[in-house]
Amino acid sequence: MSRNRPREEQANGQGDGVPGNGATAVRTAANGTAAAPASGARPTILDLAALCGVSPATVSNALADKPNVKAETRDLVRRKAREIGYHASSAARGLRMGRSWSIGLVVGDIANPFVPDVVRGVEDVVWRERKNLILCNTDFQAEKKTAYVRSLLDKQIDGMIVLSQILDAHDMERVAAAGIPLVTVNRRAPDFSTDYVGIDNQSGVRMAVDYLVSLGHRRIAFVKGLFRSSSADDRFAAFQAAVQAHGLDGDPSLAVQGDYSMESGDSAARSLMALSQRPTAILAANDLMALGALGALHDLGIRVPADVSVVGFDNIQLAEHPLLNLTTINHPKRETGDAAARLLLQRIAGDRTEPPRSVVLKPSLIVRGTTAPPQAVPKPRRRRPAAARGTAEGG
């Protein structure tokens, strides 16, 4: 195949296919059908256009089912494309149209067992729409997070979902300047208005405290989540409100800072068990910290739930393991991802000037084997009056 085509055709062809030194030679079998390129390279739009005797622009319009292409030409282009194994470059088409048909999903820690179900919820929706999902794991590192955001913007993604973390002000400004729709999940972005999906944290914590109180617990400890997390702040505020509403022991030493990790739950439980007056129940702001607390209590020889009850939050898959059997607040994780993806796709397809929308999902209490009524504290025996004791003794 000659490389000396009109310059206009080459320019059009490179817009849809692979730029380079022109078209790849296309072999034609004896029966006239097209075969794979002789070099084994991927066929380009220039190859297909030459084979069909039309311009690259006509090929592009035919494959896009544009109405300005005759039916017989469209059928010819599609048939020859199948014969030589030509597929239009979505990347090139995206560059031409300013779209990538891709969604960026930025997560803090893919190893956190809370994350996969949310990701699956997002992926289910994105796949049904035949869009690409680009997953970025930041390890909660600011530098890594910024690098991924820039990379996603360079790829001209259609929208972005940020799970359980917040972009800094500079990254938020970059996203806004690019006009990319953004949905935050579980944490609201301070100083920026975005679409949001989360759970009713206040209701979930209140359910847990109400249940523990119904069992007879009055001294309940709380293991807090990360600093500067809106969801962690919501859960702790809800705990404080529930303590006050029930008239429980408000000892500040019963609230211990954690960071949503299993290690911080272990440390929190050990410090709580070192108090002169131990709590009878521990409520952790997520399941990983609750599992860490269970491990520490086991090491200390403290029985759960006979000595101390433990409640988590999220209902990760590990929580229902028979050896753990953790009482927890269920966070509908897959539904969260589903809602975030739907919200984002609606924003991409609709009016981007509409006010931000929020989807708040309802939690539920899952009672398992780590909660029970507190052990009864033995009451001191009443001393009888002296006269009565003397009569009885001398009787």
Residue type, 195: D
Instruction: Give dist(CA 213, CA 142) in Å, integer.
Output: 41
pTM for this one? 0.73
Residue type, 374: P
Instruction: Give dist(CA 217, CA 212) in Å, integer.
Output: 6
> Which CATH number is correct for 7-95, 3.40.190.10, 1.10.10.350, 1.10.260.40, 3.50.50.60?
1.10.260.40
* Helices 56-63/71-84 angle, 10° precision: 90
Instruction: Give dist(CA 208, CA 256) in Å, integer.
Output: 17
**pLDDT of the residue at 173:** 93
Give the count of alpha carbons within 13 A of 12, CB side only: 17
CA-CA distances (angstroms) from residue 224 to 186, 230, 246, 271, 286? 15, 12, 20, 14, 9
What superfamily in CATH does domain 201-332 come from?
Response regulator (3.40.50.2300)
CA-CA distances (angstroms) from residue 364 to 116, 252, 316, 329? 20, 27, 13, 6
Instruction: Give dist(CA 273, CA 256) in Å, integer.
Output: 12
| 193 phi, psi to nearest 5 deg | -100, 115
Domain ranges across the chain: 7-95, 100-199+336-361, 201-332
| 302 phi, psi to nearest 5 deg | -100, 125
3-state secondary structure 274-322: CCCCCCCEEEECCHHHHHHHHHHHHHCCCCCCCCCEEEEEECCHHHHCC
Answer for the pair 167, 104: CB distance below 8 angstroms, yes or no. Answer: no
pLDDT, one tens digit for every residue, the chain (395 residues): 333 333 333 333 333 333 333 344 444 444 444 444 555 577 888 888 899 999 988 888 888 778 888 999 989 988 988 888 877 655 555 544 445 579 999 999 999 999 999 999 999 999 999 899 999 999 999 999 999 999 999 999 999 999 999 999 999 999 999 999 999 999 998 888 899 999 999 999 999 999 999 999 999 999 999 988 899 999 999 999 999 999 999 999 999 999 999 999 999 999 999 999 999 999 999 999 999 999 999 999 999 999 999 999 999 999 999 999 999 999 999 999 999 999 999 999 987 778 999 999 999 999 999 999 998 644 444 444 444 333 333 33
The C-alpha torsion from 290 through 293 and 299 to 301, rounded to 10°, is -90
Q: Of the candidates 249, 242, 287, 236, which has an alpha carbon nearest to the alpha carbon of residue 265?
A: 287
Answer for the pair 115, 107: CB distance below 8 angstroms, yes or no. Answer: yes
The vertex-349 CA angle with 129 and 148, nearest 5°, equals 75
CA-CA distances (angstroms) from residue 307 to 287, 297, 367, 374? 20, 10, 17, 7
Give the count of alpha carbons within 13 A of 51, CB side only: 31
Q: Of the candidates 65, 80, 73, 87, which has an alpha carbon nearest to the alpha carbon of residue 17?
A: 87
Report domain 100-199+336-361's class.
alpha beta
Beta-bridge partners for 159: 103
Beta-bridge partners for 185: 163, 197
Structure-block tokens of residue 213: 């109180």
The answer to whether 100-199+336-361 and 201-332 have equal CATH topology is yes
Q: What is the DSSP letter of 156?
A: T
**pLDDT of the residue at 92:** 53
Q: Of the candidates 52, 22, 187, which has an alpha carbon nearest to the alpha carbon of residue 106?
A: 187
